[in-house]
Structure 1
Amino acid sequence: MVERRPLFDFFCHVILVLGILAIAIPVWVALVATTHENGAFVKETPLWFGELGFSIFTDLLNQSDPSSHSQLPILNMLTNSMIMALCITFGKLSISIMSAYAVVFFRFPGRMLAFWLIFFTLMLPVEVRIMPTFEVITNLNMLNSFSGLTIPLIASATATFLFRQFFLTVPNELVEAARIDGAGPIKFFFDILLPLSRTNIAALFVITFIYGWNQYLWPMLITTDIEHQTIVMGIKQMLGVEDGLIEWNRIMATTIIAMLPPVFVVIAMQKAFVKGLVDSEK
């Protein structure tokens, strides 16, 4: 019998409401800011919609205001961010699941050494690896290219570790049964292991997509051509104006637009995402 604790339930709901407010209020302020002129931010931050409505979104997407100090190809930057995020996501998942499959189900010399070498890369922060990686990309003439944006960020020790831990829970009887039925390594991987891993794949898909979408430091280093810049870089460029006129309404509108793809991915995959993180059978 589950004990009912009203005071504890009330406390949990209070914490939940406070967490929702902490996340929702900044988004609300940003949404409201898109409906006001820049002069509205001089004295105070408005908390209700202004006279502009949501016309600023149309101006941004259609680029109908050539005199703007914050004029940037928003649609092109969104496309670049989407390509970068999807390439990083599919690349991370593909390499990680195949490397974990090799480590768990194949017996070869140096198998565990290879795994621990992959795992030890978690000990190296991005700041330590970024300059050597930049030099390699430069020597390979991959600056200002999608390959330079994505390939250095594809490898993931974390995803490899998570897939390995899941594969270790696969019963040996299942592997033996597949071998008796004549399933080779490729058939076993695609017909049995991948379907069993779908919740893990969904959870890591959401995490890696958001990771790729929010990248700022690496794209800033290797892209000088505006044709390959991402939406996160565009938001930063809008803040760097020479005459001091920061168009906050356009910046907030761009921020709202940049939030939408990750939000859609989370909403579309939330059930599989949660199951992949808390599934008791893993």
Structure 2
Amino acid sequence: MPSWQRWQAQLADHLILICGALFMVVPVWMLVAATTHLPGARPFPRLDPGTGALENYSGFLTSSAGFSGDVTVLAMLWNSFLLGTGFAALKVLLSLLAAYALIYFRVRFASAIFAVLLLTLMLPLESRFLPTYEVVAQLGLVNSRSGLIMPLVASGLGTLFFRQFLLTVPDTLLESARLDGAGPFKFLKDILLPLSGPTAAALFLVLFVNGWNQYLWPVIVTTEESTYTLVRGMQFFGNSSLRGLMLAVIAMLPPALLVILFQRQVVKGLFDGSH
């Protein structure tokens, strides 16, 4: 290919990438810029930054919210953090144990069990919310953090990732562990856990963002304002008011920062495993 044709192809590629980046970034910037203007100004949409960011955000985290005033933005931030962390940590742990059992134990109908797990990927999470709520209500877990987290910890996607990773682990490691007298638990703890660290960390980040952004399940299982998450609490302020826009920015920052800071580790962990 001549150099001028290569240059034109690269220019077209860069223009497409720039347009795509602007398409995703500009709405976010408009949201952030709108929250930097003082109350009374036209809040949204705005492209120009204002001078009232410090004044707007200074007391917002501790300000009362809700109809009863019993919950603050900081409390909702803590609830979102607990939901995202618990959601991701338990999913990673359960997925690793499930994949470990399917690969290293003689489980009858292991292939059929794995096929059923893959089938759950075809079903939207919301499709099982109503029967799940019935179980949660019978267990008395409504309006509790356990009720928010526990019903969502099963993950066919996480099991798939860990299973594919464990299939790449050499059989010689298992044979060496047996020769050293290591049992199944010791083999998992001392060998497989360190090897699966990058995959577990990458999957944890993806699932944390997924748990942080959960809306429908918290709406169904929580009615007390003290258990509301940030995403659930947006209904207190509306989607066009200044305080509502600030809450949206605060809800967006933690997962966005995590993805930006650790995007290389996510890609490496999900696709390269321990390599």
TM-score normalised by the chain length of structure 1: 0.87
Matched, 1:253 2:246: yes
Q: Which runs of 5+ in 2 are unaligned?
A: none
Deviation at 1:214, TM superposition (A): 0.1
Q: Which runs of 5+ in 1 are unaligned?
A: 241-245
Is residue 40–residue 46 contact of structure 1 (8 Å, CA) maintained in 2? no
1:183-224 per-position Cα deviation (integer Å, ceiling 9, x unaligned): 221121122111221221122111100000000000001111
Query: After the TM superposition, which segments of 4 or more aligned residues of structure 1 sit over 6 Å from their partners?
Result: none
1:144-169 per-position Cα deviation (integer Å, ceiling 9, x unaligned): 00011001111101100111111111
Which residue is equivalent to 1:52? 52
Is residue 202–residue 269 contact of structure 1 (8 Å, CA) maintained in 2? no
Q: 1:254 to 1:72 in 2, by over 3 A?
A: farther
Is residue 72–residue 234 contact of structure 1 (8 Å, CA) maintained in 2? no
Q: Secondary structure at the match of 2:61?
A: helix
Matched, 1:195 2:188: no
Count of aligned positions? 271
Which residue is equivalent to 2:27? 26
Measured in 2, the distance between the counterparts of 1:71 and 1:175 equals: 55
Which residue is equivalent to 2:272? 279
Q: 1:40 to 1:122 in 2, by over 3 A?
A: same
Structure-to-structure mapping, 1:80-159, within 5 angstroms: 80-159=79-158
Measured in 2, the distance between the counterparts of 1:62 and 1:20 equals: 34
Deviation at 1:51, TM superposition (A): 4.3
Measured in 2, the distance between the counterparts of 1:275 and 1:9 equals: 26
RCO comparison, higher one (Cα < 8 Å, 6+): 1
Measured in 1, the distance between the counterparts of 2:186 and 2:72 equals: 45
Q: Secondary structure at the match of 2:53?
A: coil
Which residue is equivalent to 2:167? 168
The structure 1 residue matched to 2:258, chosen from 254, 265, 270, is 265
Q: Secondary structure at the match of 2:101?
A: helix
What amino acid is aligned across from residue 91 of structure 1 in structure 2? L
TM-score normalised by the chain length of structure 2: 0.89
Deviation at 1:95, TM superposition (A): 0.3
Deviation at 1:83, TM superposition (A): 0.4
Deviation at 1:140, TM superposition (A): 1.1
Which of 206-215 and 124-133 deviates more?
124-133
